[in-house]
Structure 1
Amino acid sequence: MAAERTLPNLWHATAPTAPDTRPLSTDISVDVAVIGGGFTGLSAALHLAEKGATVAVAEARMIGFGGSGRNVGLVNAGMWTKPEDLVATLGAEAGKRLLGELGDGPSLVYQLVEKHSIACEAVRNGTLHLAVGPEGLKDIQDRERQWKALGAPVEVIDAERAQSLTGTPGFAGALLDRRAGTIQPLAYARGLARAALAAGARIHTETPLRAAERKGDLWVLTAGGGTIKAKSVIVATNAYGDMLSRTPWTAYTQELTILPYFQFATNPLSDNIARTILPERQGCWDTGLVMTSFRMDQQNRLIFGSVGRLDALAEGTHRAFAERSLRKLFPAIGDFRFEYWWDGRIGMTTNNLPQMHVMAPNVFSVSGYNGRGIAPGTVFGRALANHVTGEPNALPLVETPLTPDPWRTLKSAFYHAGAQAKHFIDRRF
């Protein structure tokens, strides 16, 4: 895996300690091998172990190293794609099933949090999709209409109500989705890992996959300092699948366009100021062409994010944009400083929907969450566990062939450069 800059990540600083894990140093045999220790892989491991299957997770770095430890922490229902567009892409039967599974996704997350006593700052007061200008308002009104037709508890609120829930007058309205909420994402991932271990799963960190070979009806994976023999393999690396380039599944690494996303977190704000910003602690994102998000954590830190990568050249531009934005949004915020900043990768697909692949005999994957990793990752991890243990119709996605995107590198570079240019000139509203 390519080296990344070490940045001060809030989630790493405030999550409970990770469970004790070790690199793989011997040869083992299990029913199912899981590649990747994020939301999808850990959900799969937990549900497999609870079903009585033997399972080993091989994680190249640490639990939640990828998107699961860099996420905004919004536990959203559904996908970013509107329901009618999703159904038009997948067909009525498959589309409605996926909408149902993902619409209930936040419920699964919060049920697991409660069942396994996961300390992850879980708040379920909904999320706010904030409308930027008249066009943004039309967009969220259309989303409200489509979700309400499916019985979802969503509501467009006007600018005045949006101001009372956010503390800023800058938006034309908001879509309040009461199914959703927020968590500390790395704490959730570590909690899933702890629950999976308690159920009997094995988790090996610092165990990069180095090779994969089919021998008879088994897969032999060379990982870390040993091998894993397994009847089935679940690939759960999403946008962090660098190591798969060393396996027969290398095409998997060429499918996703990488959308970089950064976040800056302030020092804890005073109680007086914190009470005026997101008083009910909803998480927010907006309809802007280059999306931004903001939320509060349990220690009253205000966390602001947007598209872009915090490399040595771009960090100053994005930091200045984040500071300008917060002062514009919340003029009463007073003096603050950024204590933490970090970035991550969002895996984007050409149709903005997840893809399910059978990459080889008994090798399964779901990837491409398009910015909705927490609930879908948890849902698809469970679905993959049910599928490989023989449950009929377990997967809410139809299998599609692996299709490398020849433009992915160019598109990823465009997103990075375009966001940097926009943030350099953007004055906010």
Structure 2
Amino acid sequence: MKSTCIWTASSPEAPLDAPRLEGQAEADVVVIGGGITGLSTAIHLAETGVSVALLEAGEIPSGGSGRSVGLVNAGMWIPPDDILEALGPENGERANSVLGQAPAEVFALIDRYAIDCQDTRTGTLHLAHNARGEQELERRYQQFSQRGAPVELLEGEDCQRRIGTQRIRRTLLDRRAGTLNPTAYTRGLARAARQAGAHLYTHSPAEGIERVGESWRVDTPAGCVRAPQLVIATNAYTEGHWNQVRDVFFRGHFYQVASPPLPDDIAGDILPERQGAWDTRMVLSSMRRDAEGRLILGSLGCGDTKPETFLRCWADRIQRHYFPQLGQVDWECTWTGQVGFTPDHTLRLFEPAPGILAAAGYNGRGITTGTVVGKGFARYLTQGDDSSLPLPVRRAPPLRAKPLWSKAYESGFTLYHAGQCLRIVA
């Protein structure tokens, strides 16, 4: 398999030709990070006439924003009642409401700026892989329904027709959601930010920040930029000892493998409405088909550290379990992205210092969360109002034993996948 992100290779949105920051510049707001959060912040600030300078360490995108599964999901990773338990009733329902509407915010940006990201708006499917998973989907269905979400619990023939497998008897369809090509979406946001008036700089990693009078100065290898307000949107790709975002989450990974394009006479019954899907396994398996008909499978863990034979064995096991009608699949490519995790599976929005806003810990929901957080940051910076953010901006205490969290997660994922390959785990 080639080590290539299929989203980059197949993106209909062209790469952005942005300069490197050289010399000195000034702006009203500096944004560090050219992923979805940073670009959404830049768009919504620039649309109101605010001068924005955005710094990206590599190309746009070079991090997780372009390497995800591409699911436009509503809510957080955990179900609504668990969010209330983690955040309290007031903040929990606020997060449920704002993030429940997040797919609509993504699709509105796509429409407003004509972003060609191969998006679908037919929902997503959460698959119950066993009886316990069926109970979990029932629990989620009741909680979403109580809040007026357009969800359906599909069973039997209707369920199997939507997925293209006989292995699943119950699935939860969330009609708010959809899919897209994440590289194309991120490139489209960059184009939109520039069109709105933001100044974008690539290959310009932030090497440090310093308070200078009433402004923050951000240094890069070839220049610096000053602004009274600063947004740090680096999340799972946070580097540098100066960046306090690194203290509030732990880093994980998600790998994927993609087949060649599969003709409809072979694979047309698999996810025929192009919904993205994932199952209720302890270590989930994700599955979707892209605009060219590829089957894309994914799971938690770092594929970059695993031999190709391990990845092929895992992919074959999942494909033959769910979609045996495909026969032998010759997997085309594989790639891995990084994920910002928190122990309670909720995000962090905070002010590391006066004039600085930061976000981290999206727990695998970066497309929708990053989009609404960027919009909310822009409103907070211009109006002092944080009500459109999923949570109030508040203090975020450092995460204790952070290296242990990362090691424990990765070790657990690897052991689980090894069990799947050896048929110890069903």
**Would you call these one fold, judging by a TM-score over 0.5?**
yes
- Does 2:20 align with 1:27? no
Q: Which residue of 2 aligns with 1:424?
A: 418
CA drift of 1:216 comes to 1.4
**Aligned equivalents of 1:334 and 1:32: distance in 2?**
54
CA contact (8 A) 2:160 2:169 kept: no
Instruction: Kindly provide the CA deviation profile for residues 278-303 of structure 1, in whole angstroms up to 9, marking residues without a partner as x.
Output: 01111001110011100000000000
Q: Residue 278 of structure 1: SS of its match in structure 2?
A: coil
> Is the partner of 1:300 in helix, strand or coil?
coil
2:341 is equivalent to residue 344 of structure 1: no
1:181-220 equivalences under 5 Å are 181-220=178-217
Residue 398 of structure 1 and its aligned partner are, at CA, apart by: 2.2
SS for the counterpart of 2:77 is coil
- Tell me which of 6, 10, 19 is aligned to 1:10: 6
Q: Is residue 390 from structure 1 mapped to residue 347 from structure 2 by the alignment?
A: no
Mapping of 1:42-81 within 5 angstroms? 42-81=39-78
8 Å Cα contact 2:304/2:336 also seen in 1: no
Distance 2:369 2:139 in 1: 22
SS of 2:332's equivalent? strand
Equivalent in the alignment of 2:121: 124
Greater Cα shift, 362-371 or 327-336: 327-336
Q: Is the 8 A contact 2:279 2:286 kept in 1?
A: yes
- The answer to whether the Cα contact below 8 Å between 1:206 and 1:224 also exists between their aligned partners in 2 is no
The letter for the 2-side match of 1:411 is W
Structure 1 residues 326-359: Cα deviation after superposition (integer angstroms, max 9, x where no partner): 1221111134211121001111112110111101
1:402 correspondence with 2:396: yes
* Alignment length (residue pairs): 420
Q: Is contact 1:357-1:364 (8 Å) kept?
A: yes
Kindly report which structure 2 residues correspond to 1:24-423, keeping only aligned pairs within 5 A, or say none: 24-243=21-240, 245=241, 247=242, 249-250=243-244, 252-394=245-387, 395-423=389-417
Which runs of 5 or more residues in structure 2 are unaligned?
none
1:64-119 deviations in Å (ceiling 9; x for gaps): 21110111000000001111121222222222222111111000101111111100
- CA separation in 2, counterparts of 1:285 and 1:34? 33
C-alpha separation in 2, matches of 1:296 and 1:123: 11
SS of aligned partner of 1:285: strand
Distance across 2 between alignment mates of 1:390 and 1:51: 11
Q: Offset at 1:365?
A: 1.0
* DSSP-derived class of the 1:405 partner: coil
TM-score by length of 1: 0.95
CA distance in 2 between partners of 1:367 and 1:131 (Å) = 29
Gapped runs of 5+ residues in structure 1? 1-5
CA gap 1:223/1:186 in 2 versus in 1, 3 angstroms = same
Superposed CA offset, 1:173-197 (max 9, x none):
1110000000000100000000000
Letter in 2 for 1:41: G
The one-letter code sitting in structure 1 at the alignment partner of 2:225 is I
Does the Cα contact within 8 Å between 1:314 and 1:420 map onto a contact in 2? no
Question: Once the 2 structures are TM-superposed, how far is the Cα of residue 312 of structure 1 from its aligned partner?
Answer: 4.2
Alpha-carbon RMSD across the aligned residues, in angstroms, is 1.5
On the 8 A contact 1:75/1:182 being kept in 2, the answer is yes
Q: Which amino acid aligns with 1:27?
A: Q
Q: Structure 2 vs 1, CA of residues 67 and 385 (structure 1 numbering), >3 Å: closer, same or farther?
A: same
Partner residue, 1:3: none
TM-score (norm 2): 0.95
Letter in 2 for 1:412: S
Deviations, residues 193-229 of structure 1 (Å, cap 9, x unaligned): 0000011001111110011000111001102311110
Same amino acid, percent of matched pairs: 41
Q: Please state whether the residue corresponding to 2:383 is helix, strand or coil.
A: coil
CA distance in 2: counterparts of 1:215 and 1:118, whole angstroms: 38
How far apart in 2 are the matches of 1:364 and 1:152? Answer: 31
Classify the secondary structure of the residue corresponding to 1:295.
strand
| 1:324 shift after superposition | 1.8
Deviates more, 1:412-421 or 1:149-158: 412-421
In 1, Cα distance between the equivalents of 2:24 and 2:232? 19
